[in-house]
Amino acid sequence: MAFHTIDLSTWNRAEHFLHYKNEVQCAICITHRISITRLVPFLKQKKLRFYPVMIYLVTKALHLQTLFRLGMDQEGNVGYWDSIDPSYTIFHKETETFSCLWSSWNLDFHSFYPQICSDMESHQNFFHFSMPDIPPNHFDISCLPWLSYDSFHINVNPGTYLAPIITWGKYLEKEGEIQLPLSFQIHHSAADGFHVSQFYQDLDRLIAAFIEEYPL
């Protein structure tokens, strides 16, 4: 997958990037409850699995903004990938541990969905921490289906890891509305709250379009 180096001398975000990369290293983490009131019954009707579909929709939304595809090459230059692949967790009840898998991104839902379902099924007895050969152009997804929460934060030194970290919890129905807490964490040098807010708006729009346009 192609990596395009960014020229800091002409990048309109260069000062922001360097400030949060070198002087105030920190991450943005926002939790927002998205409405999946229409999506949940729709997926049940179509016999589609919630987790793989959400991974597809989240990945599609991330591709709409270049800042969510940033990375660093081996020489330490910042740039962006043409495409990013989701790295996601699966839970093993037997050991109460998880494994990190990854699947190649494909904009075509009817290609991506069976592939990620196959990857999940074929690794049910894979108890290692991570699949080998995870591509450098990946981002992280995890899910806490046992807990609905209001805030979630991974306390790590952001360093030079610029990719988004997406987490969602257990969805709840209240007064006829089904809401899913979805958390978005990213190095502040890569993006601001404005861009994260745009992601949530894009995701809402993509969920609605998925329901209206399926089969895509």
Tens digits of per-residue pLDDT, 62-113? Answer: 999 999 999 999 999 999 999 999 999 999 999 999 999 999 999 999 999 9
pLDDT for residue 27 is more than 90? yes
Q: Which of 19, 32, 63, 188 is catalytic?
A: 188
What is the structure's pLDDT at 155?
Answer: 78
Beta bridge partners of 139: 86
C-alpha span between 132 and 101 (Å, rounded): 9
Contact criterion met (CB below 8 Å) for 28 and 191: yes
**Quick check: is 128 catalytic?**
no
Using CB atoms within 10 A of its CB, is residue 3 exposed (0-12), middle (13-18) or buried (19+)? Answer: middle
Check whether domain 3-213 has CATH 3.30.559.10, yes or no: yes
Question: Is the entire prediction scored with pTM above 0.85?
Answer: yes
| Residue at 117: amino acid letter | C
Strands (E) in the chain, as ranges, are 3-5, 27-35, 70-72, 78-81, 85-92, 97-102, 138-143, 165-168, 172-174, 177-187
Question: In 3D, which of 71, 213, 210 has the Cα closest to residue 136?
Answer: 71
